[in-house]
Structure 1
């Protein structure tokens, strides 16, 4: 049995543009416009038998704009950034420079009081590993860029610091396949 999972990055919002930590803002007007403009090219994703999304407003609204009607999955929420939630990196760096230095230097640290990077990657990987084994019509998840980066680090068995080297653009699609319990990254043209 095999699994084909397409990960669709949510459309943008103002929090993404401002680089805010885990800020549950809805899509802004530009995000809605981009999602609606991309809908004809992404309509093939509606063929997925099972459609999921991160529980954030941005992911739910991206799914709605594309007519996907995804089911929110708590395991697909973005990394828990604790007391840094909703703040920009600049704000946190100004207030807690040593904490930011520790966080960027050691993926296992969580000076913000939330999840460490390995815990986040493990949570997303655990969700991947519990997907149904027979997906004749495929699976889809509309997710935050961080969730997709965590999934890729997990699938590729890369070290946690590789998370920072993956760039996920809004409305991009990443395909993962699984056979015999292991996951592969599939690049499409």
Structure 2
């Protein structure tokens, strides 16, 4: 038995350079327009047996805008960034350069008082490993790009530093298939493929 999970990256509300840690901003007009342009390609994913989203406003709005009626999953929330929540990387660097350097260098570090990168990756892996498994079941999960990057590191059993080398673009899709502890990356044009594993 295997489960197929298609991740959909939430639509953006700002340029990549202005992204904030644990961004709670809703979709702006450009984000809504982006969702509407993506509906023809991504609407077929609404046929998934299971439809999820992160609790972030952009993820919820993206899932609703795409017609998924997703169930909010707290485990799909962004990394807990402690006192850096709401800051850009540049703002955190200006205030605490040594702490940011430590956080970027060590996946176990929590200089911000929040969650380590390693714990974030493990949390996403735990979410994947506890999805209901029915033969041929398919799921779609709308989440922030950072969440999808962490899930991919887990799926690939890659070193945590790999997280920094994965670029997940707004409204992009990526599929994974498998069962607890045994996942594979699927690069097959998931938005055009059926959701059955």
TM-score (norm 2): 0.92
In 1, Cα distance between equivalents of 2:119 and 2:162: 14
In 2, Cα distance between equivalents of 1:17 and 1:27: 16
Question: Please, which runs of 5 or more residues in structure 1 have no aligned partner?
Answer: none
Question: Please, which runs of 5 or more residues in structure 2 have no aligned partner?
Answer: 190-197
The reply to whether residue 60 of structure 1 matches residue 64 of structure 2 is no
CA contact (8 A) 1:15 1:25 kept: no
Could you say which residue in structure 2 is the equivalent of 1:177? 177
In 2, Cα distance between equivalents of 1:82 and 1:18: 19
Question: RMSD of the alignment, in Å?
Answer: 1.4
Q: CA deviation at 1:17?
A: 4.9
Instruction: Name segments (4+ residues, structure 1) moved above 4 Å.
Output: none
How big is each residue's C-alpha offset from its partner over 1:143-168, in whole Å with a ceiling of 9 and x where there is no partner? 11011000100010001110000000
The reply to whether residue 187 of structure 1 matches residue 182 of structure 2 is no
Aligned length: 189
Q: CA deviation at 1:48?
A: 0.3
Could you say which residue in structure 2 is the equivalent of 1:2? 2
Could you say which residue in structure 1 is the equivalent of 2:34? 34
Could you say which residue in structure 1 is the equivalent of 2:79? 79
TM-score (norm 1): 0.96
How big is each residue's C-alpha offset from its partner over 1:45-98, in whole Å with a ceiling of 9 and x where there is no partner? 011011000000000000111111100000000000000000111111111111
In 2, Cα distance between equivalents of 1:102 and 1:56: 27
In 2, Cα distance between equivalents of 1:181 and 1:83: 33
